Amino acid sequence: MANEKNSFKLFIYGVLILVLFLAFIQLFIHGTGLFFTLELVGFLVLGIFTFLGFVGYKSGWGNNFFFFIFLAYLGNLILIWYFNDALYVTLGLLAVIGFLLAFPRKHESKNKPIPHKEESHSMVFDAVESETKSSPVKKVSTPKFQVKHSPGKYVASSRSNIYHAPKCDWAKKIKLERQTWFAKKEDAWELGYKAHNCVE
């Protein structure tokens, strides 16, 4: 079914390009000077692109050539209209139809699952949420919390060779999945990490 659809689309491209080519020849054959030269060069370039489009259509990359061909036809018709005051509506409609048929579409892979990023479990926020859900809201002065660095005293990124104190601004920028924790400075030194100036 898809093969028949592609063959039909290729046939439509062929008919549209044939009609546009014949009309294109009729347009520039009566021209003179610079107009004739530019139209002849454009005709030859479009002829090469048409050949490449037909050759590469089965592989999938030929459709991009057809898109460019119809876009170039539209541009050429607009320039002819601007400079020669001749508007060819029928040719313009045919070029627009070809342009819309050849417009590149975004292909989504149907077999590829969308990755679901799961957030890591946080004991700090869960504990606070469970306390607020179970008890009524009361205004109580908040005691100072003692900072606990878990699971160690020093943190480094797996993509770096420098370790930091957890209170350091640079340490706070390390993504959770890239954090490497050390209990002692010596542990970090053994693995080749160097101390940042925030480490005392």
Please give the full DSSP string across 10-71, using - where no structure is assigned: HHHHHHHHHHHHHHHHHHHHT--HHHHHHHHHHHHHHHHHHHHHHHTTTTTSHHHHHHHHHH
Q: CA–CA separation, 195 vs 198, rounded Å?
A: 8
Phi-psi group of 90: left, alpha or beta (phi > 0 → left; psi -120 to 50 → alpha; rest → beta): alpha
Q: CA–CA separation, 46 vs 71, rounded Å?
A: 11
3-state secondary structure of 156: strand
User: How does pLDDT run across 54-97, given as a tens digit for each residue?
Assistant: 888 777 777 778 888 888 888 888 888 887 777 888 888 888 88
Q: What is the pLDDT of residue 146?
A: 45
Q: CA–CA separation, 160 vs 163, rounded Å?
A: 8
- The rounded radius of gyration (Å) of the Cα atoms in the chain is 34
Question: Which residues of the chain are under the pLDDT cut of 70?
Answer: 1-5, 106-150
State the pTM of this model.
0.47
Q: Which two tokens stand for residue 114?
A: 């969308």
Q: What is the pLDDT of residue 107?
A: 59
Encode burial over 103-135: b for 16+ CB neighbours within 10 A, e otherwise: eeeeeeeeeeeeeeeeeeeeeeeeeeeeeeeee
Q: Measured in Å, how far apart are the chain's first and last C-alpha atoms?
A: 71
Q: What is the pLDDT of residue 145?
A: 45
Q: What is the pLDDT of residue 181?
A: 86
Q: Which two tokens stand for residue 73?
A: 């036809």
Q: What is the pLDDT of residue 148?
A: 46
Q: What is the pLDDT of residue 10?
A: 82
Q: What is the pLDDT of residue 160?
A: 86
Q: What is the pLDDT of residue 129?
A: 53
